[in-house]
């Protein structure tokens, strides 16, 4: 598929492929087994300016096109979904600041995120407020030149390791979602601490947990936009970052297809490689069809964003839903191609299936994405 990237971006993508082969892929199984955040890989991404890709040059970033960011996420996810998620969440946590922050806020926060010195987190979900963000209970009360936050966020990627957190809280409970506001909360604020760390099925090297706010004071200047704009900022952010999760799912699926194809060429049964059996050929062909269709949907959204098209919620939802659904199908079929070996941790496809599942859930479940698509059709 032809996609337009600059010569500099192509050089960066070539470097990413080498990096994945030499540094990321050899660490992937260990990262999964230990379930610990891979600080060495984060430093590697920062050193190679990969974490700078989503940020404007004016704030120390590369100002990369959305298409090239999606391609990079795909390449990383082919070997290690956890590694790909580091880039995804750096963009997710920072984007509200880029969308709604003041120049002073951008100078204060974005420069150190673009360099990779700091990590970001995006704190929207609560125990009783997942798909229904309007049921949010975390409160932010204005007291003079400060806001005081009280509440709990959970299932937050980078919980406890992010230096800054984009946090959504209710400032006016009488007006529903129009009473939600967005704030930047630094990790060292008094009254802010980490709660439970989750033990997850997949993306095990990515730290997921709770953020607890107990009379946590932050300066009023940490408000993003104006009071009541938080819900709009949150949705605008997710529209722009869902394609990254789609690209993560695509990379997982492509990695599983690549491994299954290689295995089928080498594995011999009945005196010949199993790839010569029509049953296996048809499975691999169907996997390839799904992966290629997902790729076209994802890069189409990236192209719309790069072209400055103002509305792409439907296309973003379609790409995320389809890519994550086929990632589950393709990784499941890859295990079947490997037979008993596919079920063993010695081979990566069982990890790829476990990693793929979350792509159907986070940044909006696929059921919510179908609601978004249906509403756009009704409109």
Looking at residue 1, its pLDDT comes to: 46
pLDDT digits (tens, 9 = 90+) for 42-66: 999 999 999 999 999 999 999 999 9
Question: 87: number of CA atoms within 13 Å, CB side?
Answer: 34
The SS3 call for residue 162 is: coil
The confidence band for 2, taking pLDDT boundaries of 50, 70 and 90, is low
Tell me if the pTM is above 0.85: yes
pLDDT digits (tens, 9 = 90+) for 117-133: 999 999 999 999 988 88
Looking at residue 133, its pLDDT comes to: 83
The confidence band for 292, taking pLDDT boundaries of 50, 70 and 90, is very high
Mean local confidence (pLDDT), 294-303: 97
Q: Which two tokens stand for residue 89?
A: 């969440």
CB atoms within 10 A of CB 231: 21
Helix residue spans in the chain (DSSP H)? 7-19, 25-34, 39-47, 66-79, 81-100, 103-105, 111-114, 230-266, 278-306, 313-338, 349-357, 366-378
Average pLDDT value over all residues in the chain: 97
231 pLDDT higher than 70: yes
Looking at residue 5, its pLDDT comes to: 87
Mean local confidence (pLDDT), 229-235: 97
Mean local confidence (pLDDT), 354-371: 97
Task: List residues with catalytic annotation.
Answer: 363
Mean local confidence (pLDDT), 135-154: 97
Domains of the chain: 7-114 (1.10.540.10), 120-229 (2.40.110.10), 232-378 (1.20.140.10)
pLDDT digits (tens, 9 = 90+) for 247-258: 999 999 999 999
Looking at residue 309, its pLDDT comes to: 96
Q: What percent of the chain has pLDDT over 90?
A: 97
pLDDT digits (tens, 9 = 90+) for 156-178: 999 999 999 999 999 999 999 99
Buried b (16+ CB within 10 A) or exposed e, 19-45: bbeebbbebbeebbeeeebbeebbebb
Confirm if 12 and 68 have CB atoms less than 8 A apart. Answer: yes
Quick one: which H or E segment has residue 307?
none
pLDDT digits (tens, 9 = 90+) for 318-344: 999 999 999 999 999 999 999 999 999
Phi, psi of 100 (to 5 degrees): -125, -5
The SS3 call for residue 151 is: strand
């Amino acid at each position: 598929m032809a996609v337009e990237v600059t010569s500099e971006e192509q050089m960066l993508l070539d470097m990413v492929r080498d990096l994945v082969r030499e540094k990321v892929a050899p660490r992937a199984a260990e990262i999964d087994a230990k379930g610990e955040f891979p600080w060495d890989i984060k430093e590697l991404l920062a050193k190679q300016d990969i974490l700078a890709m989503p940020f404007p040059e004016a704030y120390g970033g590369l100002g990369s096109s959305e298409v090239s960011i999606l391609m990079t996420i795909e390449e990383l996810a082919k070997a290690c979904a956890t590694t790909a998620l580091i880039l995804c969440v750096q963009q997710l946590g920072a984007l509200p600041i880029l969308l709604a922050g003041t120049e002073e806020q951008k100078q204060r926060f974005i420069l150190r995120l673009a360099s990779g010195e700091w990590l970001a987190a995006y704190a929207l979900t609560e125990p009783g407020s997942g798909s229904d963000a309007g049921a949010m209970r975390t409160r932010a009360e204005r007291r003079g030149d400060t806001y005081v936050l009280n509440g709990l966020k959970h299932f937050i990627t980078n919980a406890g390791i992010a230096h800054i957190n984009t946090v959504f809280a209710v400032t006016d409970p009488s007006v529903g979602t129009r009473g939600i506001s967005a704030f930047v909360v630094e990790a060292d604020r008094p009254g802010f601490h980490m709660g439970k760390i989750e033990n997850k099925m997949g993306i095990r090297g990515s730290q997921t947990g709770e953020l607890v706010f107990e009379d946590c004071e932050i300066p009023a200047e940490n408000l993003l936009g104006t009071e009541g704009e938080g819900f709009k900022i949150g949705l605008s952010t997710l529209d722009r970052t869902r394609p990254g999760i789609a690209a993560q799912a695509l990379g997982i699926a492509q990695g599983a297809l690549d491994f299954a194809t290689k295995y089928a060429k080498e594995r011999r049964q009945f005196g010949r490689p199993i790839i010569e059996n029509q049953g296996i050929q048809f499975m691999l062909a169907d996997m390839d069809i799904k992966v290629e269709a997902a790729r076209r949907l994802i890069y189409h959204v990236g192209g719309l964003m790069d072209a400055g098209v103002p509305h792409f919620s439907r296309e973003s939802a379609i790409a995320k839903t389809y890519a994550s659904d086929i990632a589950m199908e393709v990784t499941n079929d890859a295990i079947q191609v490997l037979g008993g070996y596919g079920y063993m941790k010695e081979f990566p496809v069982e990890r790829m299936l476990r990693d793929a599942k979350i792509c159907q859930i986070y940044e909006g479940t696929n059921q919510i994405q179908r609601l978004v698509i249906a509403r756009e059709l009704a409109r």
